[in-house]
Each structure stands twice: as C-alpha cells, then as structure tokens.
Structure 1
C-alpha cells in the first residue's frame, strides 16, 4: 500500500512551481481528453476522481443531452482534480472528420475557452470563435493531451491512417505525444488494439476498466492503474517544463498551425463541393514558346463561356514537369500551325512525337481534344480527311481546326453560335459526365460516416437510379469522397431500406 500512498501524495501535491526551472509562466495543467463518442471519457473522469478523492463513488459528470446510450457530453467541461491538475471532458467525435479534428486542435492549441459548448463549426465559424476567445483564454494553461479509446469497439486497419495523423498533429501542437487510455480493456482484443497504437507511435498506453455505479469495487490493481497514469503524466510534464519557452509565444505559434490546418481543410471542402457539381479541371498542353502565347485565347474562352462546367484550367508546357497534369480531368492538346496548312501526314507526325507521351500517359483517348490553330482551311472536308487518314481517332476524342480569322472572331466575342464552340462544349459535357461517374464509384478507407442531409439524400437517390451498383458504406471516407457519392453508396449499401431523416 506504500506505493499507492506515495503516488497519491505526489499527484495531490504537484505544482508547476516545483518543476526544475519553475513555472515559466504556467499556473495550471489542463488534462484535455479527446476521442470518439461513447468511448468512456466521462466515465474516466469519474474513475479518476473516485481514486484520488478515495471516498464514495459519485457521478460528477454534468451531461448536456440524453443519447441512445444514456447521458452525453456536448461541452468542454473542466473538473478539478487538485489545485493544479484539471481534467477536461469533451464532446465525443462521431467520425473524426476535419470539422471535428479542427475543433480538437483548437482546444489543444489553447485557443478556445473552457466550460462552453463544443461545436463542429463549419465555414469560418471556428476562426471567429478563436478570435472571440482571445480575451478569455489564458496562455498560462499548460495543455496535456489524453486520447481515450474503447477496446470493445476494436481498431480497424482502415481507421489507422486518420488516427495516426490526428495523434501526430496533436503532438506537433502540444510537443507531447498524447497519452492513450484504453477503456473496457476486458471487452475486446486489448493486445491487438495496444499493438496498433504502439505502431502509430504512442509512447504511453494505459488500459483499465472504468469504475461505474454498478461496478465500484476498489481492488489494489484497479486503484494503482489509475495512479500510474497520473504518475507518468507528471513525469512527462516535468520533462516538458524543462524545455518550454514563453507561454504567449508558444500559443501564437500553435495558433498559426491551427489556422493553416483550417485553411487547408476549407480548400479541401471546396474541392469536394466542386466534385459534387462535377466541375472539370482542364489541362491545356503545348510544346513551344509561341504556343505558350497563342493558346491563351482558348484558355480565356473556356474560363469565360464555360464557367458552369469548368472549375479550373491549367496551361502546361508538356516539356516541363508539372504535377497539375495528374489533377486534371480532360486535356486539350494544342498545336499552333506556323505554316498555316495541315494534313494527315503532319497530324500523324505531331501525335507520334515522343514529347507528348506524358499527356497520353495521363489521359485516355476520350479525355483528349486535339486543337490545331492558325490553319488556312479549317473546313469540314479538311477535318474529315485528316480524321480518316491519320491516327487522331486512336489518340483523341475530337479534332478542332481553327483559322486565324475564326480565333479572332471568337476571342472578340463576334462568333455568335459558332459550331466549333458547340463541339468544344459537347466534349466538355462528356468529360463532366465521366467526372461524376468517377466520383460516384470512388472507394477508399476511412472512419465511420455521418448521416447524410436531406439534400444529399435526394441527390443520392437520383444517382442510384443512374449507377445501380452496390458499394460498401464502411469503406467510404467522408474526408476524401464527394458527399453526394458517399450518400449514394450509403443508399445502395442499405438496399434503400432507410429513408431520409431516419438514423442509419
């Protein structure tokens, strides 16, 4: 029992003032819990207070809502353990998507106030809350991350990449790799879960069975398990305090990291929205310095007249490495004919040029439009003859010939209903349809999915009618697939037994 008394005394008497280099501007330690919903964070707080106070078991949790499994926390609530150590309960994350992890990172960076509701803020709302909290958040709070995970739910391989990124970013913010507390240790494959967290880089992993109203018998082992967690936490805090700088400066650095994450998250969300709309990203590929200038009229026309189809256009010199080429949906192979005349022989020579191999390596025939500019005769007869006698039909979906006069008229808005612009639009619309099909059939691994909104359900059912194929909902990731495709897969995987508004 001596070890229990020593650990208890050390925990209760700990102060940041007693650290080797003093408090360095810190006054208290916030033991910030985070994790999935229903994994035992609130029960862990009851367990810790039960052990340290060593009195009768009480439920200390101030729950906000009633869920299917009982009381549910939706606020970030503080529970003092000692004068220095504060346990902070948290709203559980249903999916660990970027909205939820953004909130967690803002907490771990000490950018949000205690004892307020936790929001999965969308749009610019989280940034607004960070600004609003400037006057109330204390830089003197030392944030210590604790990740709570229930063994009974298991840890699938699909979840590991996202969890690893989460834990590593939490480490980068706090300069402490989150302590992992595994709850319900006898209700699943504890060794498997522990090994997976070790492989993710977790340095301190503890397993326990939380005390509850129904199971509050204190055994020496259960009592010691809880005290050991805090003993290791104090050792880690003392180690970090020897290496900490100015609290205000550190908090500002963390703020920059979080704001950068939020910016990148918002860019990704916009990308997803564009995917839902089926908007195209187009590569206009050329080879020569002259073409670098002469192709610009096509780029301008695409961005001006087809902005309801096109999201972005990239001008790409095929002789230079450009990673954007792999991000495009369709490509325009642009050639400026300096001699003002073209024929099938010239076109064959053009398309067989090894310089174009990067283009053909990234795009299939149906994704390529061949545009030959500055020809004297751009009529249908010349085009048909080239198409019949060249390898165009093997390398490109269409060929468009433009004379200098036509290009000038289109560029200056005098083209009217130019048939070649109609052909260009037809090519783009086919590319858009293929873009939507590709989005609907993407399958990747990730964390559990949220329930789709009504509008997404409506879109999903319309997609299901077009693409009648079954997809596995469990291996779709909200973070990487358009939400509409996610909803489609959800509808199909449940054989349409659920209707909008019902829980999945």
Structure 2
C-alpha cells in the first residue's frame, strides 16, 4: 500500500490540530490559533494568505485575500481566513514607517485589543476604554502567533532598529519569538536578510515563494515549505500555551491591558511634550525677530 506523501501528512496534522494538541495539553482554555501577519506594505502578507489557503486545502489558487487590490494602507477591516477548524490566518495593516503609532497599533492587535472594523487609532485611549469592559470579563480564546513577512527584495539595513524593537515587543507580549517569513526566495539578497534577522534575535526564519496572480501553478516543493511554516506556527503556539499553563489567564489579560494603556499614555505625553517644545521655539523665534530687524537697521545706518 502506498504511503501518503509528506504534504498529505502535514495537511492531516493541520486539519486535526487543536490548541495544545502537539504537547498533550487539553482543556487549556484556547480554542484556536490565530496566525497574525505583520510587515511593511507590499511585502507579501496577502499573497502568503492566498498561498496558505490553497496549500492547506489542496485547491487551485484563488486571490481570497485581495492581494494587489489595494496599496496596503487602506485596509479598514482585518479579515481572517480559516485554514482549519482550529487555525486561522489574519492580515494586518502594513507598516509604513513602524513609528510609535504603528507599533502601538500592532501591540494592541497582539494583545487581542482590537475591533472588527480595524480602528485607525486616532483616539486610541477612548477606543481602549470602550473595549475594556468586554475584554476584562472574558479572556481571549485565540492564541496569537506573530509572523513578520519581509520581502527579500527590500534590505533591512535602515530599518534594523524599528524591526528589532517590534520583534522584542512581540516576544514580550506573546511569550514566543515571531516567525520570520522571507518571501521571494530566489532573490540574491535572501541569505543576507536571513542572517540579519538572526542578528536581531529572530530564532525562527522561513524562506518561501508565494503563489501570486502571475504564478499560480502549484508544486509540491512550494506547498511543502508553506505547510512546514504553518506546522511551525502550531508548534510555537503550543509551546506558548505550555508556558502559560499554570498562569491565571484572567491576570494575564489584566496585565496586558494595563501595559497597553500605559504605553498609549506615554506616547501621547511624549507627543504633547514635542508639541509644547515646538510652540516654545516658535514663540522665541517671534520674539527675537524684531530685535534682529532693529539690529540690521542700526548696522545699515552706521
């Protein structure tokens, strides 16, 4: 009797998976693993979703995530896609500069503090305050696995500090290291970017090729890399679940919400100080201007 292929085995494992299942951790309070994709705009997050969907379901390619249909910054709803009964994958708004505001938005998503419509977070503290009653009463049942998607065509040299900061924050919040997915594996920069992410502390790095609109033909090798990536996701999720096995999930929830509010407040206070300093500088410039004009007139007379 012919043995099932490795890909068939991986698909079966994913379809039968339940949170904690790879480490025999039943009744842990989590019902689903949510693979959350982060990264800069245009680096292949939506294409990775399309690739995962067709590889797991063993179906022809379909653009279910709308890859290439927006510029990545107009996403108002972070839609999730079911890969199996207990696994989903979710796109998030692409980073532009990964500044404090974008980092805070990503942290809110990692802490399960978000709305279905995907707020733009201009009024972040008000948004959080409105969400607190529900979130404090019911711990989330999704265990979040952070994934950073980065194209090998874009060097990270000038972004190292910002990316490194996000990697550390993601680990602090979820307790697991973000999985790095480097897309466009045939590019000459792939090895260098792979090494640079390792230098930033990323312990799990995957190189693969997405299926895209002009390259929809599936093959066993590409499928295998995608399925192995998802297998890594559920194993990391179970490792994180084991770390929280003896912790009070309600207390984790309270601690995470407090941390988000503190970070939001700190950033707003920093922005307020910058604004106040700028106003002070403008006032000083305005006061000095008449004196400079008078000094020039005196010089012209003499």
Superposition TM-score, scaled by structure 1 size? 0.52
Aligned Cα root-mean-square deviation (Å): 2.6
What is the rounded CA distance, in whole Å, between the counterparts of 2:73 and 2:166 in structure 1?
26
Q: What is aligned with 2:175?
A: 175
What is the rounded CA distance, in whole Å, between the counterparts of 1:71 and 1:188 in structure 2?
28
| Cα pair 1:110 1:251 within 8 Å, conserved | no
TM-superposition CA deviations, 1:122-177 (whole Å, max 9, x none): 3xx11222232343785222111111111112212x31111111110111011111
What is the rounded CA distance, in whole Å, between the counterparts of 1:78 and 1:44 in structure 2?
13
TM-superposition CA deviations, 1:296-318 (whole Å, max 9, x none): xxxxxxxxxxxx66xxxxxxxxx
Q: Does 1:99 align with 2:72?
A: no
What is the rounded CA distance, in whole Å, between the counterparts of 1:249 and 1:138 in structure 2?
9
TM-superposition CA deviations, 1:199-251 (whole Å, max 9, x none): 00001001111101221222222111001111111211222222212332212
Q: What is aligned with 1:474?
A: none
Q: Which has the higher contact order (CA 8 A, sep 6+)?
A: 2
Q: Does 1:12 align with 2:24?
A: no
Pairwise CA distance, 1:64: 11
Pairwise CA distance, 1:278: 4.3
Q: What is aligned with 2:212?
A: 212
Q: What is aligned with 1:464?
A: none
Segments of 4+ moved more than 3 angstroms: 62-67, 70-74
Name stretches of at least 5 consecutive residues in structure 2 with no aligned partner.
293-302
Q: Does 1:24 align with 2:25?
A: no
| Cα pair 1:151 1:184 within 8 Å, conserved | yes
Could you tell me which of 112, 122, 131 is aligned with 2:114? 112
| Cα pair 2:46 2:66 within 8 Å, conserved | no
Q: What is aligned with 2:300?
A: none
What is the rounded CA distance, in whole Å, between the counterparts of 2:177 and 2:95 in structure 1?
19
| Cα pair 2:20 2:241 within 8 Å, conserved | no
What is the rounded CA distance, in whole Å, between the counterparts of 2:183 and 2:162 in structure 1?
20
Q: What is aligned with 1:443?
A: none
What is the rounded CA distance, in whole Å, between the counterparts of 1:271 and 1:12 in structure 2?
52
What is the rounded CA distance, in whole Å, between the counterparts of 2:69 and 2:270 in structure 1?
32
Q: What is aligned with 2:156?
A: 155
TM-superposition CA deviations, 1:340-363 (whole Å, max 9, x none): xxxxxxxxxxxxxxxxxxxxxxxx
Superposition TM-score, scaled by structure 2 size? 0.84
Pairwise CA distance, 1:178: 0.7
SS state at 1:75 partner: coil
| Paired residues for 1:98-497 under 5 Å | 98-113=100-115, 115-119=116-120, 121-122=121-122, 125-134=123-132, 135=134, 139-156=140-157, 158-244=158-244, 245-279=247-281
